[in-house]
Amino acid sequence: MVVSNSYTEARVTSPGLARLRANPNAEAIRQQTVADQQRAREQVAAKPPKPTGRPRRSPADAAVIVVQVAKNPKRGKAKERFALYRSGGMTIGAYKAAVGDREQADRDILWDLRKGFIRVVAPRT
């Protein structure tokens, strides 16, 4: 390591940097590195953007919800959402669309499945 101390400038040079400066091909190496970095930036910029908009449908969205209880066991807003199940042969995808909030719909379905209020039947093909 080369250390040069003076009152106006203190400079520390690593051994690798000292070898690079002494290398007659140092400028060519630097130019190649800059060109590689530029090429990488162009490749990243050339990638098509990720699709936006409506998410793809899951195969589970086609499954039919079957209500297992005679009386609506819910209260408040959950009661209104549970009533949507009863609209004859509603699929999971249709329920999510009717609720609007897909995460809330997922939570409702999982809760109701665990509690035994509903069951999910694969669609007939």
Q: Report pLDDT for 115.
A: 92
pLDDT in tens, 93-107: 888 888 888 889 899
Query: What does the domain layout of the chain look like in residue ranges?
Result: 2-46, 59-121
Looking up tokens 């070898």 gives: 19
pLDDT in tens, 42-64: 877 777 766 666 666 677 788 88
| pTM greater than 0.85 | no
Q: Report pLDDT for 114.
A: 93
Decide if 112 contacts 95 (C-beta within 8 A): no
52 phi, psi to nearest 5 deg: -120, 175
